[in-house]
Structure 1
Amino acid sequence: MGTRSHDVLRDLRAKITTGKIPPGSHLTERDLCAEYGVSRTPIRSALRKLADEGLVVISPHRGVFVAEWTNADAAEVMSIRALLESHAAGLAARNRSESQIETLNQLCDRMEVLVDEQPDGYRAEVAELNHELHLLILEAAASPRLFNIVKDLALAPLMSGSFQYYSHAQLHRSLQDHRLVADAITKGDELRARVLMEGHLRNAYAALTSR
């Protein structure tokens, strides 16, 4: 994917997951080309990727629409994530490298600084760093099949934009969860890493559905 396609993808993903582009919205190539000042090629590439992630639906003869998800859909995704990512966290505690531990803790640092300083758009940036953290733990698990099964679930609608709905206290608790999971992985404590990751994801779903 080229640089322009990546930029368009990143911006559209952020707008969809934060609700700036609501579920059910019709996305047209012509309007997007005008908005981003690019040709149809990077727009089409970005839309295909968003479709792969489940954020948009490409309907023959109708066009592209932002996916509409129900609370039942979100509950199903979070239940699967809690099961599989907790297993991944346990494997990560066993298989992680020193460089992965370092990066994991750096991601925690960056999110904490953002939440403390609260610059413009910080919640969207925290959401991106959160996704990086969960992907890193999947990579550290050293299980390619598990990675391929789970990697896109964190980008599911309602889940990937959940930080937009957190209270400040819920946001801090989520970052504390990250620290605890990172500590368990760093110390090679498989059982604690599994339990903490499952609890973290179930807390995230509870925060989302409490709004």
Structure 2
Amino acid sequence: MTLDPRQRKRASAAQPIVFPSRQETVAAALRLDILRGRASAGSRLDIDEIAARHGVSRTPVRDALKQLEGEGLVQVLPYRGVEVTRLSGEDLRELFSIRIALERLAVARAAANVSLAELEGLRKILRRMDRARGRDQSWTTLNTSFHDAVHAASRSPRLIEMIRVQRTNVDRYVRAGAADLGTEAQQQEHWALLESLAARDAAAAQSVIERHLTRTAETLVRLAGA
């Protein structure tokens, strides 16, 4: 049955509006501060200052920090408070080894499940990335969109969430090392990944994503001085 415009409007109005909780709002703000480098690795986070800044009690701040601790972005130190995590070269190697295993599974599933519409969407993103080279922020944002779209094609929400956690923890280092990572090799690998998905070639897609992430990990470990 097709709804007329008035019926669609009433149906839309009937949908409840879900607002983020105080914990989610605080966690999102702190996460962004960490990823953008406004809260640098090793810096202390003051619960009272955060609570005052967001106009909330200490409880949602503590809950938000527990959430970020689970994502590996902060660590709670006994008698010393909360600190933004500092990743060593060995930490980066371990996180990327986990992420490679997860993403190999994701791209294999994406090769089996990706739709023609999704493939065209990925092509559009990559064309925009080709045009955005030299504009770091625009290219980085599109890069995130491309990988998100590949993950979505896997039709595996639990797997996608596991990848998100691993990626969130290293994104601040990826952004800081953007100049060293460059865009040319990354973009070639993105197009190769898309071609593998379009061909439904899971093994080729796995090879590309492993090469892609391994090169990123090696660059970041070198920058970390390990």
**Residue range with higher mean Cα deviation, 178-187 or 38-47:** 38-47
Question: How many Å separate the matches in 2 of 1:9 and 1:31?
Answer: 14
Partner of 2:169: 156
1:87 to 1:42, Cα distance in 2 relative to 1, 3 A: same
Are 2:40 and 1:22 aligned? yes
**1:185 Cα deviation from its structure 2 partner:** 1.3
- Whether the aligned pair in 2 keeps the contact of 1:92 and 1:140 (CA below 8 Å) is yes
From 181, 185, 192, the equivalent of 1:173 is 185
Partner of 1:71: 89
1:160 to 1:105, Cα distance in 2 relative to 1, 3 A: farther
Partner of 2:196: 184
Question: How many Å separate the matches in 2 of 1:10 and 1:43?
Answer: 11
Are 2:69 and 1:56 aligned? no
Are 2:97 and 1:85 aligned? no
Which SS does the other structure have where 2:182 is aligned? helix
Percent identity over the alignment is 28
- Whether the aligned pair in 1 keeps the contact of 2:71 and 2:168 (CA below 8 Å) is yes
1:13 to 1:176, Cα distance in 2 relative to 1, 3 A: farther
From 200, 205, 209, the equivalent of 2:217 is 205
Which SS does the other structure have where 1:58 is aligned? strand
**Residue range with higher mean Cα deviation, 183-192 or 196-205:** 183-192
| Aligned pairs (5 A) from 1:76-155 | 76-118=94-136, 122=137, 126=140, 129-155=142-168
Question: How many Å separate the matches in 2 of 1:113 and 1:174?
Answer: 14
Partner of 1:31: 49
- Whether the aligned pair in 1 keeps the contact of 2:92 and 2:221 (CA below 8 Å) is no
Q: Which runs of 5+ in 1 are unaligned?
A: none
Number of equivalent positions: 204
1:32 to 1:148, Cα distance in 2 relative to 1, 3 A: closer
Question: How many Å separate the matches in 1 of 2:142 and 2:168?
Answer: 12
From 186, 193, 196, the equivalent of 2:205 is 193
Question: How many Å separate the matches in 2 of 1:143 and 1:73?
Answer: 26
Q: Which runs of 5+ in 2 are unaligned?
A: 1-18
Letter in 2 for 1:38: G
Letter in 2 for 1:92: A
**1:150 Cα deviation from its structure 2 partner:** 3.1
Rg larger in 1 or in 2? 2
- Whether the aligned pair in 1 keeps the contact of 2:93 and 2:221 (CA below 8 Å) is no
- Whether the aligned pair in 2 keeps the contact of 1:50 and 1:56 (CA below 8 Å) is yes
Q: Deviations over 1:63-93 (max 9, x none)?
A: 3211122111110111222233123212211
